[in-house]
Amino acid sequence: MTSLPAIPAANDGSPPSAGGRIKAAILGTGNIGTDLLFKLLRQPGALELALFAGIDPNSDGLARARALGVPVTAGGIDAILASPEIALVFDATSARAHLRHAPLLAAAGKVAIDLTPAACGPAVVPPVNLRAHLDAGNVNLITCGGQATIPLVHAVSRVTPVAYAEMVSTVASASAGPGTRQNIDEFTFATSRGLETIGGARSAKAIIILNPAEPPLLMRNTVYVLPEGDFDLAAVTASIERTVAEVRAYVPGYRLKGAPLVDEVKTPAGPRQMLTLLLEVEGAGDYLPKYAGNLDIMTASAWRVAQVFAEVLASGQNLRFRGAKTASP
């Protein structure tokens, strides 16, 4: 297997080690795509934003990008496919649209970073399993709750086996658009599955709550982790702190509200010690309001994933990407 270059420090803005910046496009000019636009302009790192593409010529995002001097188009994916110099594409459209886009991008040899629930490619969480999927031509960012809580469960499971994990994610109703509201079941399934397959829990559950409070509240997550047996609390805490620091490198508003809480609970196997982690995510305020940490962690994670892929591509390695699976919409 070809050795891969080290993951670059997040948000350092440094150019790739060789070959110049990698040209990227954003597909989708809504809130997610526009927030990602601002992140890439603020910290391009190893990327050059070559095109901001949508299908609504009157969208606010397209107007803002045009005013900032970014090349724009209302030609959607066709304009991206007609640009051979674009090597990496962020898809910030919808799951249904990405199911159509995925095979087209794969056939064109473009890396797709999927911010929709389509899940055509492997699910990635930057500090946990991204290195394992750098040969995938299409990667999926799961859900906002997954990006926030899977790293914490993984931090515990790499120290001691985890029998069960549960997360409760509370987000401002104002930050939950139609896509989120229409895909609650998909959110809970994808997140609970990610807690297991990526986080390392033997079984898991995910819950999302839309809070209508005014003014809107920050994204808050409560994570319950039940280790299988006795564990070294100091080692687990150190692992959690290391993971929090890794996520904060690209999501500065990611923070635990205190040290892990330990309580004794009754289980079918007898009394066990359960960890409770209280997590808050504040957005960077690039385009979306700071209370929309649930959306910010998705765009920040996409930025991080893209930087790593760009570094690999710019290094001149001739990677043969695995194609994305597709499904009928």
CATH 3.30.360.10 domain position(s) in the chain: 144-293
What per-residue confidence (pLDDT) applies to 186? 85
**Is residue 118 within 8 Å of 183, Cβ to Cβ?**
no
What the block records as the tokens of 142 is: 């799961």
**Residue with the two structure tokens 């999302």:** 208
* CB proximity list for 2: less than 8 A, separation 6 or greater: 317, 319
Distance CA 34, CA 15 (A): 23
Please tell me the CATH code under which domain 22-141+296-314 is placed. Answer: 3.40.50.720
Chunked into runs of 10 residues, the chain (329 residues) has average pLDDT values of 30 42 96 97 97 96 97 98 97 94 97 94 97 94 97 98 98 86 86 98 97 97 97 98 98 97 92 97 96 97 97 72 49
Q: Which residues pair with 256 in a beta bridge?
A: 279
CATH architecture of the domain with range 144-293: 2-Layer Sandwich (3.30)
Tell me phi and psi for residue 71, to 5 degrees: -60, 130
- Catalytic residue IDs: 144
The three-state secondary structure class of 178 is: helix
CATH 3.40.50.720 domain position(s) in the chain: 22-141+296-314
